[in-house]
């Protein structure tokens, strides 16, 4: 299985569960909770948000990753989707990235960045792009 085929299946699997607007809506709701510093709402929204992404990767995409020779394990980062491993190389696609000055006002960042410890949540599209970039090193040996 090629990188492009794998990426297409990852995107399709996530869109089968929710459309991009729904994924972005979940992230926006979580950001609003962070912006309001509503710890109860954060505790209510964050686990299902993370679990949704992780469940699709771990279970819905199991055959896709098996065909690509990629093993899936629990994430090590609190905003990680999973740790993906192939031929001794690992990758961990994330749902949030460090917020750099050049990213101010982009995506779903809003005013909640400080409460995300200098990170910003990614939109669905940004997450898919980051996911694809994370997978590239795992396919480097196959294409070489």
pLDDT tens column, 68-100 = 999 999 999 999 999 999 999 999 999 998 875
Residue 115 has a pLDDT of: 45
By CB neighbour count within 10 A (0-12 exposed, 13-18 middle, 19+ buried), where does 108 fall?
A: middle
Output the average pLDDT for the chain: 87
**Is 50 exceeded by the pLDDT of residue 104?**
no
Q: Are 111 and 133 in contact (CB under 8 A)?
A: no
- Could you tell me the strand order of the sheet in which 71-73 lies? 71-73, 83-86, 89-91
Q: Which residue has the higher pLDDT, 115 or 72?
A: 72
């Amino acid at each position: 299985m090629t990188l492009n085929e794998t990426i297409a299946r990852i995107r399709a699997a996530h869109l089968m569960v929710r459309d991009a607007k729904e994924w972005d809506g979940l992230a926006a709701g979580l950001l609003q909770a962070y912006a309001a510093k509503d710890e109860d709402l954060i505790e209510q929204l964050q686990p299902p948000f993370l679990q949704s992404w992780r469940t699709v990767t771990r279970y819905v995409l199991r055959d896709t990753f098996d065909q690509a020779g990629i093993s899936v394990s629990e994430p090590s980062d609190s905003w990680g989707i999973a740790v993906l491993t192939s031929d001794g190389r690992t990758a961990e696609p994330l749902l949030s990235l460090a917020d750099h000055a050049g990213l101010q006002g982009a995506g779903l960042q809003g005013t909640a960045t400080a409460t995300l410890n200098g990170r910003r949540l990614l939109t669905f599209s940004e997450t898919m792009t980051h996911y694809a970039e994370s997978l590239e090193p795992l396919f480097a040996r196959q294409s070489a």
